[in-house]
Amino acid sequence: MSSNKIGLYLGPTVFFLTLFIFNPPDLNAASKAVLASSLWISIWWISEALPISVTALLPIILFPLTGGMELADTTASYGHKLVFLTMGGFMIAIAIEKWNLHKRIALNIIYLIGTDIKKIILGFMLATAFLSMWISNTATSVMMLPIGIVIIKQLKDNSKVNVDERNTFAKALMLSIAYSASIGGISTLIGTPTNMVMAGAISQIYGYEISFIDWFIFGFPLSIILLFFSWYYLTRIAFSFKEIGFPGGREKISKLRQRMGSFTYEQKVVSFVFIAAAICWISKNFLLKNIFPNIDDTIIAMFFATLLFIINSKDKKEKILKWKDTINLPWGILLLLGSGMSFAKAVDSSGLSVWVGNQISDFGTMNLFLLLILLVTLVNFLTEISSNMATIAMMLPILAPICLEFDLHPFVLMVAASVSASCAFMLPVATPPNAVVFGSGYLKIPDMVKKGFLLNITSILIITIMVYFLLPILWDLVPDQFPEELI
């Protein structure tokens, strides 16, 4: 029997056993209902018994029926403002893809870097990571893959380069796209859904809003460090190249750039909207708040997304974005975001978070640095076999009571878990970018496992060090003290 079928039956079985047989004296009815429902949802997420986005609808059914949380409160989480912030970001991303602005950005970055093989890989990683800051890592890797294949084929057609060198370059380039697509998303709040799930959980549990710039000042440096280490690792440790130069590389990129022609009117409009939105997100707290006191990241995202539906294309026959373009919106991710926030609210409001905290009090004496390593390692390897969004949606509500029990600042563990979910590099199923490049045919599973394992371990150490030492300074936190204002 497949894991999907086992999960399909195991989920409801565990739900009913927990709801009707599991009766600890200190667990109230609402908490037990949320626990039972959460176990069902978690099992279906991990086993992918149903599509993950379909499972994300279960809280709307289970929480109200079992008495875990009222229907109005449950469904309200699916309309949380962070869901609309993500939607606005997705709409801007759709416009970037629709008018081929992403290809122009990528090709220009690669062209400027040069034709040294190591620099070509760096160019691909910089282009991929930059795009992944603003559009989904899946879309980024899908877009970069054909460009990478063109470069690989150009090398294969060159008789001066031996077969082993070609294969080595192909593997390194494919892995560089996958790694940088995941790493780039760490930089911004909208770069990867796991960041938004984390921000949503903190908002639901503590009523605290993490702004775009708050996240950027931590996420961007972390992303840069991981990106350049992964490039160094791929080009000097994981693979070695005898040929340094790439014959004909710049010419091929030049031809691709020429084929795109000059900047179109539509690309200029989308570029303006894209840059303006980024500037507003970054300057919101120290500039825009003085003019519009109620300004918010979500308002900015929806304003510029709406603008794309207003502005005409050059021939005025259509708008820059039409509603039919939104069929490409990842509605499933938006549902998953909503379910994650519903999850967090139910765990907190039912009292389940307090009960969980009491059960794990034995870990209270563990050193914070060791606790971070343990958590980051657990999340990192768990996301190798399950959805990173589902993993984070399950774990964040549980981390809140852990922090309260240990008297730790909750952001420390929650941020550590969220960023580590973006750093699974070993298996094709771990992240969509991994699956995309694996489908190119240039990689085998042993290639990904062998090269990805050491990068996983290194990313665990880098994330732990950054969260332990840098995050408290950038966000003005006291890591070993639970803040009274969040209680």
Residue (of 230, 25, 245) closest to 117 by Cα position = 245
Report residue 126: phi and psi, to 5°.
-65, -45
Place of tokens 């990867």: 192
Query: Residue 234: its pLDDT value, please?
Result: 92
Q: How far apart are CA 127 and CA 177, in angstroms?
A: 9
* Cα(434)–Cα(450) distance, integer angstroms: 14
Element (H, E) at 131: helix 117-132
The pLDDT score that the predictor gives to residue 228 is 94
Would you call 24 exposed, middle or buried from its count of C-beta atoms within 10 A (0-12, 13-18, 19+)?
exposed
What DSSP state is assigned to residue 185? G
236 burial class (0-12, 13-18, 19+ CB within 10 angstroms)? Answer: exposed
d(CA 249, CA 236): 20
CB atoms within 10 A of CB 291: 7
Q: Which of 97, 133, 127, 96 is nearest to 110 (CA)?
A: 127
Distance separating alpha carbons of residues 103 and 399, to the nearest angstrom: 40
Of the candidates 157, 226, 147, 148, the one whose C-alpha atom is nearest the C-alpha of residue 186 is 226
Q: Which residues pair with 245 in a beta bridge?
A: 116
CB contact at 8 A, 331 and 53: yes
Per-residue pLDDT of the chain (487 residues; tens, 9 = 90+): 777 888 899 999 999 999 998 888 788 899 899 889 988 988 887 777 888 788 889 999 999 999 999 999 999 988 888 788 778 877 887 888 788 887 787 677 667 776 678 888 898 899 899 988 887 777 677 777 777 877 777 666 555 556 667 788 889 999 999 999 999 999 998 888 888 888 888 888 888 888 888 899 999 999 999 999 999 999 999 888 766 665 555 676 777 778 878 888 999 999 899 888 878 877 776 677 778 888 887 888 899 999 999 999 887 778 999 999 888 787 887 887 788 778 778 877 887 767 766 665 555 566 888 888 988 998 888 777 666 777 787 778 778 777 877 788 888 899 999 999 888 888 776 777 887 787 777 888 788 888 999 999 999 999 999 999 999 999 988 887 888 777 6
pLDDT at residue number 387: 66
Sign of CA dihedral 229, 235, 239, 240: negative
Q: Taking CA 428 as the corner, what is the angle to CA 176 and CA 183, rounded to the nearest 5 degrees?
A: 40
**If 0-12 CB within 10 Å is exposed, 13-18 middle and 19+ buried, where does residue 220 land?**
middle
Max intra-chain CA distance, the chain: 75
* Per-residue model confidence (pLDDT) at position 3: 75
Strands (E), 122-212: none
Integer distance in angstroms from the first to the last C-alpha of the chain?
Answer: 46
Task: Mark residue 22 as left, alpha or beta (left: phi above 0; alpha: psi -120 to 50; beta: remaining).
Answer: beta
CB 188 within 8 A of CB 392: no
Retrieve residue 120's tokens: 């070509």
Distance CA 264, CA 314 (A): 9
CB atoms within 10 A of CB 243: 17
Residue 482 three-state SS: coil
Distance of alpha carbon 323 from the chain centroid: 26
DSSP state, residue 371: H
Q: Which residue has the tokens 């708008």?
A: 319
Q: Which of 466, 486, 483 is nearest to 348 (CA)?
A: 486
User: Beta partners for 312?
Assistant: 319
SS3 content of the chain, % helix, strand, coil (to 5): 75, 0, 25
Q: Residue 246: what residue type? A: F
